[in-house]
Amino acid sequence: MFWRKQYQIDMFRLPRHIAVIMDGNGRWARRRGLPRTAGHSAGADVLKTIVKECNRIGISYITVYAFSTENWKRPKEEVDYLMGLLLDYLRNAEKNLAGENVVIRVLGARDGLSQEIQEQIIKTENFTKDNTGIVMNIALNYGGREEITNAVKNLINDVKTGKLESADVNEEAICSRLYTENIPDPDLIIRTSGEQRLSNFLLWQCAYSEFWFTNKNWPSFRIQDLKKAIYDYQKRTRRFGGV
């Protein structure tokens, strides 16, 4: 008989914000003799399931690393495919997440994206902005260093033009100039595929995040794995620098 461990999650101590580095799409595809793009497509399907489950159990925010500022270095066909997949995801968000009440937001340097994607982002964000369920942040053309550099430039400009006193440059002033303005820091960061690094994801925001890694590639990630990650997270003691 097939036996599967049930993870008892404490619904009163859920992570408020989960961030995911969806790694291993290419390896998943290669092991099956498929093109890398098939891995991304399977990854996008898994993402829908995971967002729905997070919403169902009551997670308030999920942030997913869909395309980094460094991913432009990939072969053109792969970049084009990923951009197409993202465009479809944004276009079909209403259909795919129908009844799910999901708010979709995009974090990253939008001006580096095609006009078509930029317009679709605005449409999808507007369409979902009054939903009351989980907030799904899609990190797209996102880089943590770029985000911080941008915030610093913005601060300098505001000081120069007299909108901000230099004495008022503090953590709050920086936070309010990041793409994640008004979004709480991630409590839990999940990375798949056995890699254990941040890869320029949420560098400022992860100061006190808990990390959880699995050897599974993203397209093989299941609801059971999500539950295990939350279960393990709940066993940890977070001290935020205190005792």
- Catalytic residue list contains 80: no
Q: Does 25 bind ligand FPP (CB under 6 A)?
A: yes
- Catalytic residue list contains 71: yes
**Choice among 10, 25, 55, 71 that is catalytic:** 71
Identified binder of ligand FPP from the candidate list 47, 104, 106, 135, rule CB under 6 A? 47
Q: Does 26 bind ligand FPP (CB under 6 A)?
A: yes
> In what side-by-side order are the strands of the sheet with 103-107?
103-107, 135-142, 61-68, 17-21, 188-191, 210-213
Site string for ligand FPP, 218-237 (x = CB under 6 A): x-------------------
Identified binder of ligand FPP from the candidate list 66, 106, 188, 226, rule CB under 6 A? 66
Give how far the C-alpha of residue 63 lies from the chain's centroid of Cα atoms, to the nearest Å.
2
Q: Which is nearer to ligand FPP, 218 or 233 (CB)?
A: 218
Q: Which is nearer to ligand FPP, 67 or 233 (CB)?
A: 67
Q: Which is nearer to ligand FPP, 152 or 194 (CB)?
A: 194
**Choice among 23, 25, 137, 141 that is catalytic:** 23
Q: Does 141 bind ligand FPP (CB under 6 A)?
A: no
- Active-site residues, by number, are 23, 71
Interface contacts to ligand FPP, rule CB under 6 A: 22-27, 40, 43-44, 47, 64, 66, 71, 82, 85-86, 89, 138, 193, 218
